[in-house]
Amino acid sequence: MPLADILAIAAVAFTLAGFVKGFGFPIVFALSRLLKVSISVPRKWERPLSVPLGAINGMLTGMTGSFMVPSVLFMQAMGFQRDMLVQAMGIFFAISTIVLPASLGRHDLISMEHVRVSVSALMPSILGLTIGRRVRLKIDEERFQQLFLVSVLLLGGYISINPS
C-alpha cells in the first residue's frame, strides 16, 4: 500500500477520533443507517483500517471506559449480519473487559470497591444477554438492524447529554 494511502487513512481515523470523543459519531452513524444512507467499508479497506481504528478504539476505551466507538460501528459498517455481529461484539467485549481493568489496576486507577461493583453487575448483564438472545432469535435481520441502530442512537444521545 502506498504511503500516501496510509497517511490518508490515518488522517481520516484521527479526525474521526476527535469527532468520536465528542460522541457525535454514534448519532450520525445511526441516523445515516436508519435513513438508508449506506456507510460501508469496502473489503479492500477492512485490513488497512483495522489497525488505526483499533489504536483509536484502545485510546478512547482507556479515556472513557466505553468499548463501542469505533469498533462496533466499524463491525456494523463491514456488513456483519446479526449473528456474526453479536459474536464479534461478544469476543471484542470479552477481551476488552479483561484488558481494561488489568490496565487500570496496573496504574493504580481502580479500587477493590470498583472491582466488587463491577463483578456484582455481571448477573444483570448475563440476564440481559439471555433475554437479548431470545429476542434476537425471534426477529428478522432488518428489524434487528433497526433496533440495533436505535440503541446506538439512544446511547450516543445519552452520552452527549451526560458526558461524565
State the pLDDT confidence band at 123, using cuts at 50, 70 and 90.
confident
What are phi and psi for residue 140, nearest 5 degrees? -80, 170
SS3 130: helix
- Helix 141-161 / helix 24-34 crossing angle, nearest 10 deg: 150
As a whole number, mean pLDDT of residues 142-164 equals 82
State the pLDDT confidence band at 20, using cuts at 50, 70 and 90.
low
Q: What is the pTM of this model?
A: 0.64
Closest by Cα among 147, 14, 162, 21 to 76? 147
- Considering only residues 60 and 118, tell me which one the structure prediction assigns the higher pLDDT: 118
Asked if 14 and 58 count as a contact pair (C-beta separation under 8 A), the reply is no
State the pLDDT confidence band at 77, using cuts at 50, 70 and 90.
confident
Give yes or no for residue 94 having a pLDDT over 80. yes
Asked if 89 and 72 count as a contact pair (C-beta separation under 8 A), the reply is yes
